[in-house]
Amino acid sequence: MSSFWHWYIIVLTLGNIAACYWLIRWTAKPRPGEASATETTGHVWDNDLSEYNQPMPRWWLWLFYITIVFGLVYLVLYPGLGRFDGVLNWSQYSAYQQEVKQMHERTASLYESYAAKPVPMLANDPEAMDTGRRLFANNCSVCHGSDGRGAKGFPNLADASWQYGGEPETLKQTITNGRNGVMPALGASLGQSKLEAVAAYVYSLNGRNAPQELVDRGKDVFMTQCVACHGADAKGNPQIGALNLTDDTWRYGGSLETIKETILNGRNGQMPAQKELLTPEQIHVLAAYVYQLSGQAGQRSASSE
């Protein structure tokens, strides 16, 4: 704040208070010769209703004085006068910091008890899952959807198909350090004819029909160009996040057109690392939440019954 505005605010604020004080004094004093107990303002309503011209009652005046004193005391204690911080040194920022600190202290013991439980066990703890749901809504749902079912380009976390894996440790790795799946743009090196063929092959891997001649040629292309990452069975490789191309769940889309687009231009899914944003305990709870979302917690308890 420049010193002009600093003084502008001080002069205006104090000037207003002084003006209020003066106004009250001025209206409170009966002016000589003017007011007496029987004098009226001269207005008459409904034939016989008239108004006395008397100063305001004392208690009413005192309310005004108290308000002024309150205002001045407030301005001494709290920030209000330009750059002056107030003698209590209170600020919105420090108040917020204080609240955050208190919140952390209150939740620390809770998170400690969560951290002590293994992920599959935590996934069956309804209270921990309430916390997980809130964390997910605040940190993950923008991309994965509030129900975790994802969208085009963003994985569905509520099914059993995994890009990197759904084991507790893998989930924690993914959330902590992020992931970056790189599908190279192969269109230029393949050329149109091979591109058509290999796209038809991938299309046919999901129980759909494509011209046999194309599929046969496409398989050859796949075995040289794609096998290193997606594997000979095209079921993918969780180490590098190469997607399973046979399970009819699609990250970017399974139409022939979209498959061609993927091969032509490549894809580059980015899951941001959370380690700077969340504590290890929060990540632990989130791993359990995703574990539970994907139905693994239910399976486990069902099989142990």
Regarding 154 and contact with ligand HEC (CB under 6 A), the answer is yes
Contact 254, 262 (CB under 8 A): no
Size of site (CB under 6 A) for ligand HEC: 50
- 197 touches ligand HEC (CB under 6 A): no
Choice from 241, 288, 292, 297 touching ligand HEC (CB under 6 A): 241
| Residues whose CB is less than 8 angstroms from the CB of residue 18 and which lie 6 or more positions away in sequence, other chains included | none
Residue 215 is a binding residue for ligand HEC (CB under 6 A): no
251 touches ligand HEC by CB under 6 A: yes
Paired with 267 in beta bridges are 183
Which segment (22-30, 45-53, 76-84, 153-161) binds ligand HEC by CB under 6 A?
A: 153-161
Q: Measured from the CB of residue 247, what is the shortest distance to ligand HEC in angstroms?
A: 9
∠ CA(32), CA(36), CA(42), 5° rounding? Answer: 105
CB of residue 7 vs ligand HEC: minimum separation in angstroms? 47
Return the number of the residue (61 or 273) whose C-beta is nearest ligand HEC: 273
Closest distance of CB 130 from ligand HEC, Å: 16
Kindly state the smallest distance separating residue 304's Cβ from ligand HEC, in Å. 24
286 binds ligand HEC (CB under 6 A): yes
Q: For 181, which DSSP code?
A: E
- Regarding 203 and contact with ligand HEC (CB under 6 A), the answer is no
Instruction: Give the nearest residue (CB) to ligand HEC.
Output: 269
Which one-letter DSSP state was computed for residue 55? P
Q: Count CA atoms within 13 Å of residue 7 on its CB side.
A: 2
Q: Is 295 in the site for ligand HEC (CB under 6 A)?
A: no
Q: Examine residue 84 and tell whether it contacts ligand HEC (CB under 6 A).
A: no
HEC string of 73-90 equals HHHHHCCCCCCCCCCCCC
Rounded CA-CA distance 178/266 in Å is 20
- Is 175 among the residues that bind ligand HEC (CB under 6 A)? yes
Beta carbon nearer to ligand HEC, 40 or 255: 255
Pull the structure tokens for residue 244: 């399973």
Is 104 buried (19+), middle (13-18) or exposed (0-12) by CB count in 10 A? exposed
Which helix (DSSP H) or strand (DSSP E) does residue 101 occupy? helix 92-115
Which of 59, 291, 262 is closest to 168 using CA atoms? 291
> What character string, x for contact with ligand HEC (CB under 6 A) and - otherwise, covers 121-150?
------------------xx-xxx------
Joined tokens for residue 289? 């939440």
Asked if 228 interacts with ligand HEC (CB under 6 A), we say yes
Report the phi/psi class of residue 150: left, alpha or beta, with left for phi > 0 and alpha for psi in -120 to 50. Answer: left
Q: Site residues (CB under 6 A) for ligand HEC?
A: 139-140, 142-144, 154-155, 157, 162-165, 171, 174-175, 179-184, 186, 198, 202, 225-226, 228-230, 240-243, 245, 250-253, 259, 262-263, 267-272, 274, 286, 290
